[in-house]
Amino acid sequence: MTLSASASPLRFSHPYESFHHSPAPHSNTAPNIGMNTPAQIASIVSDLTSTARHGMLRAPALALPTISMAKLFFRYAAMNSGKSTQLLQIANNYETMGKAVTLYTSAIDDRYGVGMVTSRLNIQREANTFDAGFDFLAQDYGDTACILVDEAQFMTPEQAQQLHRLAHTRHIPVICFGLRTDFRGHPFPGSAWLLSLAEDVEEIKTICQCGRKATMHIRIDGQGHRVKEGPQVEIGDEARYRAVCGQCFHRD
């Protein structure tokens, strides 16, 4: 069987995220055969064999964002979902291709040292920091091929607007990673603006202890009891926060 890779009806939204498949009428992509009968499966396999014989079955393309597709990306998730791991992998992928990246993280996140992007897989690298007064537009990005921002929930609304303008006026892809809401379920101002402005928004999935998809997180005290009141920002790791599903979030 010979497969043609001349074009691709499958689209990766980003090289480190699952691809989305939206087949058009008369799609030449493989169907889902999970619950079909043996006769239906035999028919599907026959159709695929015929399609491949005529060179119509095509492999997916994989590409990093370039200046021709510069826009603002926002990848959000509950805590402990691998956001920083994905950021560091993307940075590595660009640099392996000989392209420069600029990394940022929040100056208030000192869990692993100020100015450090750290994965729970014990991968770490230095990054520039931003605080509430930082101006992303005032920086010289030189030959930067991509800007990567960790802990983006701590940005101000103005900084989210700056990054949107930067992507479209300087033609540099900007990929932000962060939480969507705080421990009370209230949106972080920076995240609310990123959700409004980003052209490409995607959830990074993780699971709750109960097995459902975690979409929220809760704050806990030193004895493991839930804390429902307090300041929005309180830096902490698994000892202070837990990713939960909506049902567990609303459980008293």
74 and 197, same structural domain? yes
Flag whether pLDDT at 3 surpasses 60: no
191 and 116, same structural domain? yes
Are the beta carbons of 132 and 28 closer than 8 angstroms? no
Answer with the one of 24, 45, 63 that is the final residue of a domain. Answer: 63
In a domain? residue 118: yes
138 and 123, same structural domain? yes
In a domain? residue 197: yes
| 192: three-class secondary structure by DSSP | helix
pLDDT digits (tens, 9 = 90+) for 210-236: 889 999 888 887 777 777 766 555 655
What lies within 8 Å, CB to CB, of 215 at 6+ separation is: 78, 203, 245, 246, 249
Share of the chain above pLDDT 70, in %: 68
198 and 157, same structural domain? yes
| Burial bucket for residue 158 (CB in 10 Å: 0-12, 13-18, 19+) | middle
Q: How far apart are CA 135 and CA 193, in angstroms?
A: 16
152 and 56, same structural domain? no
pLDDT of residue 243: 86
Neighbour tally for 102: CB within 10 Å: 19
182 and 75, same structural domain? yes
Instruction: Name the nearest CA neighbour of 164 among 199, 191, 125, 203.
Output: 199
> Which long-range contacts (C-beta less than 8 Å, at least 24 apart) are formed by 84-88?
84/117, 84/118, 84/119, 84/120, 84/150, 84/177, 85/119, 85/120, 85/121, 85/123, 86/16, 86/17, 86/177, 86/204, 87/117, 87/148, 87/150, 87/175, 87/177, 88/117, 88/119, 88/123, 88/125
In a domain? residue 162: yes
pLDDT digits (tens, 9 = 90+) for 140-160: 999 999 999 999 999 999 999
146 and 22, same structural domain? no
Count of the separate structural domains present in the chain: 2
Residue 43 is part of which domain span? 9-63
50 and 77, same structural domain? no
What mean pLDDT value characterizes the chain?
76
In a domain? residue 19: yes
55 and 109, same structural domain? no
pLDDT of residue 131: 95
In a domain? residue 236: no
pLDDT of residue 65: 67
pLDDT of residue 249: 87
In a domain? residue 119: yes
83 and 162, same structural domain? yes
In a domain? residue 246: no
The least confident of 46-50, 81-85, 125-129, 171-175 is 46-50
Flag whether pLDDT at 53 surpasses 70: no
Tokens of 174: 């900007």
pLDDT of residue 232: 57
pTM above 0.85, yes or no: no
Answer with the one of 63, 82, 107 that is the final residue of a domain. Answer: 63
What's the pLDDT band for 190 if we cut at 50, 70, 90?
very high
77 and 32, same structural domain? no
In a domain? residue 186: yes
Could you list the active site residues? 151
For 100-137, give the DSSP string: EEEEEEETT--TT-TTEEE-TTS-EEE-EEE-TT--GG
Answer with the one of 172, 189, 205 that is the final residue of a domain. Answer: 205
Flag whether pLDDT at 181 surpasses 60: yes
Question: Strand 206-207 vs strand 213-214: parallel, antiparallel, or unpaired?
Answer: antiparallel
165 and 48, same structural domain? no
What's the pLDDT band for 80 if we cut at 50, 70, 90?
confident
Q: What is the CATH number of the domain that holds 121?
A: 3.40.50.300
What's the pLDDT band for 54 if we cut at 50, 70, 90?
very low
pLDDT of residue 223: 74
pLDDT of residue 16: 37
| 206: three-class secondary structure by DSSP | strand
